[in-house]
Every structure is written in structure tokens, then in C-alpha cells.
A and B are shown apart, each in its own frame.
Chain A
Amino acid sequence: MLSQLGHLPMDFLLLAAAVTLASFGFIAGRLRAEQFSFPGDIHPNSRPNAHGYFVLMWSLVPVVLVALGYIFFGEGTSRAILRSELPDGFSILTPGELTTYLDTVARAGRIPGFLSGEHVFDTVTERYGEIRGTVNIFTLVFALALSIAGMFLSRRCLSPGFRARQHVESGIEWFLFLCAALAIATTVGIVASLVFESLRFFAEVPFWDFLLGTRWNAQTSAEFGALPLFFGTFMISFFAMMVAAPIGLFAAIYLSEYASGQVRAIIKPVLEVLAGIPTVVYGFFALLVIAPAVRSVALWINQLVIAWGLADGAVLAAQPTSALAAGIVMGIMVIPFVSSLSDDVIRAVPQSLRDGAYAMGATKAEAVRQVVVPAALPGIIAALLLAVSRAIGETMIVVMAAGQRARISPDPTSDLTTITVQIVSLLTGESEFDSPKTLSAFALGLVLFVVTLLFNLVAINVVKRFREKYE
């Protein structure tokens, strides 16, 4: 019987309880408030609906809290109870094996009427079901009791002069605050896990060896000098910006200053489509189109150099995947960031400045070059910084088109690897999460996070100062 209750659809039941209790609470509060009478011209502080929402609030909050508790701790509690009841024979299992065993039990326990035929396992599973059932029933009763208590207590607070409206307002404020706090808490959690795991890594590998070491070989031998990865990231981002900065900026100038309404109406959405293309698609574009093209140009240059007697052998590596190919495609990818943000800041330059320049007899190009763009420069720089941070963090294109070899080579046609590529290759595949190999991924992630955070902070500050100037 009890184990049958282990299969209760708890999420549905809790949701139904929440909706029902909230409705009852609202009706109870409202009906009570409608009985209040106000002599003559006294104006009630709160309308009946406010009283209704007040009781609703206090009926709903307990259910939600209990439900959250169930979601986060329900399974853990059940297992803790089960584990404490296991016979001594189980002590031969290591903690890891025990966890795996309990996972299997839990999976079996979720199938009604499951029988493996093995006596011990079926007994444990049966007991697990009973414990789940107990926890479920306890949760439901607890939620109902708390909610009804909340409903009654809050209903008793109601009186003609009760400031229900203010209470409801502050309740809403709390709800909104919690949503905002949740977003921040998530960020803090992610950063904390990065920092924590990185500290574990730096306990085994000295910080400066990691930051300044020139040999990276995490997969096979334990060499964790990340400088080649920083170099690769820098190199590819540099190529990306060489493509994106001029094209994006000139596109923005064309869009904001020259293009007529109709042309703009076509080009702007098309540029935004460019921003919506999945990076995987850019990745195979890089791998299948740009990388071979870069390679054949490099081979051609090699031949030319040899033919002219400028060098004895090949001067360019001409690898099938190359930093230049990845950089070019990444540049194409970030063009919309540069152009869209720059377009916004250029359009934010007041028309009066343009008028001023034209009234001096400036041509359009002179006005743009000497007045409009300088006025928009802080915003343009911010747009470029955001694009850089985007390029540094980009993963898919470089995974596909940059290569895996960690080395410091100024040759743009040789293959390089980046921070993001290494994180991917370190964390994919079977490996335990406590070796320096996997922990190094967190350290790399931390570096990436700090760098992009700095870029973003600077960019946001620059934009803010620019806004203050013209608004």
C-alpha cells in the first residue's frame, strides 16, 4: 500500500494543491472583506480584492516552500533513510558503488510492479518505494496543513482598517526581488564552482607554471603551460577583429548615414540573420570552404617564393586547418555585433552635430569622418570590445577549424588551439572529475571568464559615459 504511494504524481498534486488553495484563499479573503461595512464617508484603505490577494499570498507561499523543499531534498532524504536501514552486508561497497547501486534501485523503483527476481534487490527496491510513499504523504499533508494554517491566520488578520493593499504590494516586491536574486545567485554559483575547482587545480599545478608555461599537453603527459592556448586565442581573435572591425564599422556607417530607408529595411534584418546562424554552421563553413581556400593560397605563395628564389623551402605551414581560416569565419560571425551596436551609437549622435558640419560646407564624408564618427567613437570602441569578448569565448568554430595542436607559431596558416577548444576536449569523453587533467579545464574557464568580464566591464562603462554625454 505504502509503496503504491511512492508512485504518486507529486508534481501534479502539488501544483493542483497550490492552485486550489490559492483560489480558496482568495475567495475566503474577498468574502470576508465584502462583509465589512464602512460608516458614511469613510474610504476603505483596501478594496476587497486586495484582502483576497493577501489571503491568497499566505495560502500559496507555504505550498510553494514545501514543494521547493520536496524538489530539492525529497529524493535525498528518501535515500538517506534507505541507506541507514541497509543491512551490514552492504558495507563492503565503496561510497561510489553504493551510489550507483542506489541509482539502480531508484530507477527500478519508479517502474510500478518491477521485479528483477533477485531477492535482495527486490526487497531493497520495495523498501525504497515505501520510503518514497511515506515522504510523499508527509509532504502533501505538511503542505496542506501549513497552507490552511496560513489561510486561517491571515484571514483572521483582516479587518475594515487592515492595510491589505500595502501587504500585497510588498509581497509582490519580494517575489520580484527573489527572481532577481535567483539570477544573481546562479551567476555567483557558477563563478564559485569555477574558482573552487580552479583552486583544487592550482594545489597540484603551480599558478605561474600554468599561466606562463609554454608546453601544453594535458591529454597525454601532465604538461599544463597554458601560454600556447592564450596565444592561439589571441591570434584567432586578432584575425577575427581584422575582419569584423573594418567591415562592421563601415557597414554601420553606411547603414546609419548613407542608406535610404528601403535599403536599410533590407540590409539590417539580413545582418541580424547573420547573427542568428548557429555557430556549428559557421564551423563547417570554415572547415569546408575557408580552410581549404586558405591552404591553397598558402601553397601558392610557397611555390611563388620558391620560384623567385626568395627561400629554399616552404615558408608557410599551409595546414588543412588554420588559425587564419578560423579567424576569418569568426570575424564574419561577429560582424553583426559590431555593425548593429555601432549603427545604434552612430544614430545616437545628435542630428544637430551633422547639421553643424553640413552648414560649415562639409561634404558627407567629411562630416562622417571628422564629426560623427569621433562623436560616436566611445560607443564604437565599446562595440568592438564586446565583439572581442565574444570572439574570445567562441568555441564551435575553433573546435572545427583551428586544430588541436598547442603551440606558439606566428604563421597564420599553421594550426593552433585555443582555450575553448582545450576545455571541450578535456571535458568530453570518460574521465573522473578530480584529476589535474579535468580540473585544468576549470582553470582555463576561469581565465576566460576573467578576461571576457574585464572586456565587458570596460565596454559597458564606456557606453555609459557616452550615453550621459548626449542624453
Chain B
Amino acid sequence: MDDTLGNGTTMEKGVLPDAPETSVRMSCRNINVFYGEKQAIYDVSLQIADRSVTALIGPSGCGKSTFLRCLNRMNDTIEGCRVEGEIMMEGKDINSPVIDPVLLRSRVGMVFQKPNPFPKSIYENIAYGPRIHGLAQGREDMDEIVEKSLRRAGLWEEVKDRLNLAGTSLSGGQQQRLCIARAIAVRPEVILMDEPCSALDPIATARIEELIDDLRKRYCIIIVTHSMQQAARVSQRTAFFHLGALVEVGDTDQIFTSPRDRRTEDYITGRFG
């Protein structure tokens, strides 16, 4: 794989004129992941574009979630998991010992498969991140961060009168948007989403997809999804994983209309997976 993004992304123009259109946010080279003796990821190299949505698709167990978790070193929390290879972000390898995973994760946020609000109030769920990173100067500042994050996650209007209610009292879709708001609140540059809609109904899913489309104007988003329709709807670039290897990556349009690899074609036409 070469170092450019290949054929340009389909980003909307004019939204953020100061941002270079196809800058590379994260660059992974020769990633291998092992769980103990078992290898889960084989030699994956992938460039991730800023201010766009990259979808990772592939059959269950193909390693796409494992790969996603490499990008904010969440695999550190799994005993016996070992990551090899180079993941460059702003000229530094995030796996190098000088990088503090705690700081890295404040820049690379994550949203999980199942909504996992903390057992705290809605307000405290959002305020948690800014508080541990010291992002707010006083109560008013924090109120502003909470409101802004909830607005960006499209949840403000629904919860502004009950910020003191438990986060777990919301519906599944609202909980997931709360988790997205929580991730946004620490001002990350990248947001990782691990099948964020798999536990949600179609209406809640549509809202989250709308939100993702909105968020990509500001953030680099990488989403793992089982739904090819979802990948086609929300992403600009798509990477197809199979058996721990990256089979093909390209513009979403190209992947879904004229895949180069036979396996990609088989998967997106529903012949396996």
C-alpha cells in the first residue's frame, strides 16, 4: 500500500475550508496482533483520512474490532494481547513507550457496541472526561461543555430538563448518543465506533447515522459495522477485512460498485459472511 490515500475521498467541499482535504490522520503499517499464541491480525497497513468516515467491514471474527481497539490502545487492557507494527499519529508511533495511553485515549475517543453509560447522572456522564483531564475551569465552564457535547450528539433537546437523572434511565438510542456526547466532551480528534448501532432499533440507528454524518465535519471517524448498507450510507472510505487480513480498501462507492478483490465481491453480494 502506498502512502497516499489513493483516489480522493468524497468529502463535502466548503465546510471547513482551512482543513486540507485529504490529510492522513492515522497511518498504520504492518500491524500484527496476537492473543497469546493465536494471531488475530496479519500485517494490516491502512491510512485513515481526517474529517471523514472510514468503515471497517467483514465477517464476524475477521479482526476488525481488534484492529479498531489498536488505534487507542484499548488492547492494553486485555491480558495476553500483543500488538506489533507502527501506528503513526502526528509523526509519533502510538505504541512507543513514550506515549501515555491515557493521553492517547483522550485524543482518540471510543463508542462501544452496547451503550455503556456510567451509573451516574446524565450531566456527570458527560462531565466525567473533562473533569479527569482538567478541561473545565469551574462550574459554568463545565455546564457549557456538557451542553455543547449534548447538542453535538443531538441529545440536548431531549434531556436538557433532566440532566440529573441517571444515564441508565434513557432509552437505548439515547444512551448511545449519550456515550457519543461523552466521547466528544474530551475534545478528541478521532472517534472510534465499534458497531455503535447493533443494539439499537432502526429509528435510533437512523439518528445515530445522521449524527455520524454530522460529526465527520469535525472529527476523524472510524466505524466497525456488520451492516453493509450502513457502511454504504455513512462512510466515505471502506476497508474489507477477512480472516485477520485487510483484503481491500478504497472509496466506499468503488468498494460497493466495483470491488477489485473476489472475496470483497463475494462478501458484499452476500455469498458469505
> Do residues A352 and B116 form an inter-chain contact, with CB atoms below 8 A?
yes
> Do residues A361 and B116 form an inter-chain contact, with CB atoms below 8 A?
no
Known contacts A260-B79, A352-B114; A360 and B132 CB within 8 A of each other: yes
Does A371 belong to the interface (CB within 8 Å)?
Answer: yes
> Do residues A356 and B112 form an inter-chain contact, with CB atoms below 8 A?
yes
Does B103 belong to the interface (CB within 8 Å)?
Answer: yes
> Do residues B105 and A359 form an inter-chain contact, with CB atoms below 8 A?
yes
Chain A, range 419-471, C-beta contacts under 8 Å to B: 469
12 examples of A-B residue contacts, CB within 8 angstroms: A352-B112, A356-B182, A357-B118, A358-B105, A360-B109, A360-B129, A360-B186, A361-B103, A361-B132, A362-B102, A371-B119, A374-B118
> Do residues B112 and A359 form an inter-chain contact, with CB atoms below 8 A?
yes
C-alpha spacing A371/B118, complex, angstroms: 7
Known contacts A360-B182, A360-B183; A355 and B74 CB within 8 A of each other: yes
Known contacts A359-B112, A359-B183, A361-B106; A353 and B118 CB within 8 A of each other: yes
Does A87 belong to the interface (CB within 8 Å)?
Answer: no
Does B137 belong to the interface (CB within 8 Å)?
Answer: no
Distance (whole angstroms) from the CB of B227 to the closest CB of chain A: 21
Please, what's the 1-or-0 string for B129-154, where 1 marks a CB less than 8 Å from any CB in chain A? 10011000000000000000000000
C-alpha spacing A445/B173, complex, angstroms: 55
Does B174 belong to the interface (CB within 8 Å)?
Answer: no
Does B208 belong to the interface (CB within 8 Å)?
Answer: no
Does B72 belong to the interface (CB within 8 Å)?
Answer: yes
> Do residues A358 and B77 form an inter-chain contact, with CB atoms below 8 A?
yes
Does B128 belong to the interface (CB within 8 Å)?
Answer: yes
Known contacts A260-B79, A358-B74, A362-B132; A375 and B109 CB within 8 A of each other: no
Does B40 belong to the interface (CB within 8 Å)?
Answer: no
> Do residues B179 and A356 form an inter-chain contact, with CB atoms below 8 A?
yes
User: What 9 A-B pairs are tightest by C-beta distance, nearest first?
Assistant: A361-B106, A359-B110, A352-B116, A361-B105, A360-B129, A356-B116, A375-B119, A361-B102, A366-B132
C-alpha spacing A260/B80, complex, angstroms: 11
> Do residues B119 and A374 form an inter-chain contact, with CB atoms below 8 A?
yes
Chain A, range 310-358, C-beta contacts under 8 Å to B: 350, 352-358
Tally of chain A residues near chain B (CB < 8 A): 21
C-alpha spacing A153/B105, complex, angstroms: 79
Does A45 belong to the interface (CB within 8 Å)?
Answer: no
Chain A, range 352-397, C-beta contacts under 8 Å to B: 352-363, 366, 370-371, 374-375
> Do residues B129 and A361 form an inter-chain contact, with CB atoms below 8 A?
yes
> Do residues B109 and A374 form an inter-chain contact, with CB atoms below 8 A?
no
Determine the chain B residues whose CB is within 8 A of the CB of A374 once the complex forms: 118-120
Please, what's the 1-or-0 string for B41-84, where 1 marks a CB less than 8 Å from any CB in chain A? 00000000000000000000000000000001010010100000
Cβ-defined partner of A354 (8 Å) among B77, B102, B128, B133: B77
Determine the chain B residues whose CB is within 8 A of the CB of A260 once the complex forms: 79
Residue of B nearest to A350 (CB): B116
Determine the chain B residues whose CB is within 8 A of the CB of A350 once the complex forms: 116
C-alpha spacing A73/B81, complex, angstroms: 69
Determine the chain B residues whose CB is within 8 A of the CB of A359 once the complex forms: 72, 74, 105, 109-110, 112, 183, 192
Chain B, range 144-186, C-beta contacts under 8 Å to A: 179, 182-183, 186
Does A261 belong to the interface (CB within 8 Å)?
Answer: yes
Cβ-defined partner of B118 (8 Å) among A363, A375, A469: A375
Extra inter-chain contacts (10) besides given A356-B116, A358-B74, A361-B129, CB under 8 Å: A352-B114, A354-B77, A355-B116, A358-B105, A359-B74, A360-B109, A361-B132, A371-B128, A374-B118, A375-B118
Residue of A nearest to B77 (CB): A358
C-alpha spacing A354/B77, complex, angstroms: 9
Residue of A nearest to B111 (CB): A359
C-alpha spacing A273/B115, complex, angstroms: 40
> Do residues A353 and B106 form an inter-chain contact, with CB atoms below 8 A?
no
> Do residues A261 and B79 form an inter-chain contact, with CB atoms below 8 A?
yes
Interface-central residue, A361, A366, A370, A371, by most chain B CB under 10 Å: A361
C-alpha spacing A374/B102, complex, angstroms: 21
